[in-house]
Amino acid sequence: QVQLVESGGDSVQAGGSLKLSCAASGLTYGTKCLAWFRQAHGKEREGVAYIYTVDSGTSYADSVKGRFTISQDDAKSTVYLQMNSLKPEDTAMYYCAAAIGGGLCYFRLAGYSYWGQGTHVSVSS
């Protein structure tokens, strides 16, 4: 059984940093990529960053490029999101997700089979 458990969410001031973690268990070698999505209150869930499990290639949403960094541990069992220079508009519930199968990764929600419960990030001005 696949489980994704996020942690690290907190309340910080603008300009601060946080590091989110997602502990993944039950994933197989068929896991294509791990991703972070976020959903602000009253808004749709959006992709933040994803990382290919095979070669650690990454992609970021334009809104976080240069500020956020996604990474994974050698065992591919934990994915991280280092968030620097946080802005109030980064306030959201952050979700970890896993995509399986072949092909490329995208930020389409339907492409991800497994989701965590989320961890909340609040950034005050």
Q: What is the pLDDT of residue 122?
A: 98
Distance separating alpha carbons of residues 32 and 75, to the nearest angstrom: 14
**Mean pLDDT (whole number) for 97-108:** 89
Q: What is the pLDDT of residue 37?
A: 98
Beta carbons of 117 and 10 less than 8 angstroms apart: no
**What is each CA distance from 27 to 4, 56, 78, in whole angstroms?**
9, 16, 11
Beta carbons of 94 and 118 less than 8 angstroms apart: yes
For 26, the 3-state DSSP assignment is coil
Q: What is the pLDDT of residue 70?
A: 98
For 116, the 3-state DSSP assignment is coil
Which residues are registered as beta bridge partners of 119?
94
Closest to 70 in 3D by CA, of 87, 48, 89: 48
Q: What is the pLDDT of residue 14?
A: 98
Could you tell me the end-to-end alpha-carbon distance of the chain, in angstroms, rounded to an integer?
A: 40
Across the chain, what does the average pLDDT equal?
Answer: 94
CA angle at residue 46 from 52 to 118, to 5 degrees? 80
For 89, the 3-state DSSP assignment is helix
pLDDT in tens, 36-92: 999 999 999 999 999 999 899 999 999 999 999 999 988 878 999 999 999 999 999
**Mean pLDDT (whole number) for 8-34:** 93
Q: What is the pLDDT of residue 46?
A: 97
